[in-house]
Amino acid sequence: MRVLAAMSGGVDSAVAAARAVDAGHDVVGVHLALSRMPGTLRTGSRGCCTIEDSMDAQRAANIIGIPYYVWDFSERFKLDVVDDFIAEYSAGRTPNPCMRCNERIKFAALLEKALALGFDAVCTGHYASIVTDDAGNRELHRAAAWAKDQSYVLGVLTAEQLAHAMFPLGATPSKADVRAEAAERGFSVANKPDSHDICFIPDGDTRGWLAEKVGAEQGPILDRSGQQVGTHQGAHAFTVGQRRGLSIGVPAPDGRPRFVLEVRPKTNEVVVGPKEALEVAELAGSKHSWAGLPPEHADEWFDCDVQIRAHADPVPATARIHEGELVVRPHEPLGGVAPGQTAVLYVGTRVLGQCTIDRTVSAVPVG
């Protein structure tokens, strides 16, 4: 197969590209230039897709012996990931930019261009596995190393995208094995730190970055009854479940800490309440997709596990499609759920599908 290997400049994508070559594929490496500031340099483990990362990727491609190119996707990345992130926060939602990047850049824009150029698949260094069932249908599954499993952020992939995806690291027992292999191959990135935080906010100051982009306007902090208990300096700076930095002037009657329960951007209000009010009995989203074949009777309740963050534990639940929404009911109330997050459904190790959460139903009624 002709394979386009997406090479971020990290150890995982370098080893994945090398394994694709070892498997006998005709491989070409490509680095995606996503930053609007091409002079940006990486700071330790913060940031990615920088000039430094591009050079690291090229050195690895040279050692592997494959052609290497840099493609400028910065405009598409700004529109589909950065601007979406700003819009979601402005709407009082908590977006996941890594999900959007995988959905709209790596497995939409990149795959579209790869197929147009005659490639059969896109190879990445994600820790996930693709399994083909007896009927030839491809399924997305967790990686062998659950500690590094990245199937959650790939939950947005569709059956058609899975048909052209390749994850050579899926069966690797640990990240240490990947680093050891990289060292044996002579890759300079063998001990390069993993990137974390939001790549386009490399200093990690999301609140300050958003304040510059959308501005900050003072507004009220309300309790669940609608009584004002404090003042905030910009609703965009708050996310559901947040405890610190609330600046509440009126203590709770029971003296217990309060948490952000809701952000209302249209009225510039932030609603706070007790921790137990964060527990959710139901979540739903109209923007949903299936990673392969959907359940046979998706409009009827079916058993599954639901995961709402990349490093959260999956919890038992039931789900169904109802009136255009994917509705999920965890068996036990689920905490820390916010609109804008992604709920990924699993059956065993298989990723069944996902939805972007539009609404939640609290397990604790007001009053």
Provide the H-helix boundaries in 271-366.
none
Least confident of 34-43, 67-76, 135-144, 295-304: 34-43
314 burial class (0-12, 13-18, 19+ CB within 10 angstroms)? middle
pTM equals 0.88
Q: Which one is catalytic: 49, 98, 123, 199? A: 199
Say how far apart CA 312 and CA 326 lie, in whole Å: 20
Say how far apart CA 65 and CA 192 lie, in whole Å: 21
Q: What is the pLDDT of residues 175-206, one digit of tens each?
A: 999 999 999 999 999 999 887 667 888 777 77
Q: Which one is catalytic: 101, 123, 304, 355? A: 101
Beta strand residue intervals within 52-166, DSSP E? 68-72, 121-123, 128-132, 138-142, 165-166
Per-residue confidence at 36, pLDDT binned at 50, 70, 90? low
User: What's the mean pLDDT when you consider all of the chain?
Assistant: 89
DSSP assignment letter at 343: E
Q: What would the two tokens of residue 174 be?
A: 């640990």
Q: What is the pLDDT of residues 225-283, one digit of tens each?
A: 898 988 888 887 788 888 887 878 777 777 788 899 888 877 889 999 888 889 999 99
**Does residue 164 have a pLDDT over 70?**
yes
Read off the amino acid at residue 224.
R
The verdict on whether 48 is a catalytic residue reads: no
Token pair 């309790």: residue? 223
Read off the amino acid at residue 90.
S
Beta carbons of 30 and 55 less than 8 angstroms apart: no
Q: What is the pLDDT of residue 44?
A: 45
In the chain, what are the domains?
A: 2-185 (3.40.50.620), 216-276 (2.30.30), 279-362 (2.40.30.10)
Q: What is the pLDDT of residues 76-100, one digit of tens each?
A: 999 999 999 888 888 878 888 888 8
The verdict on whether 123 is a catalytic residue reads: no
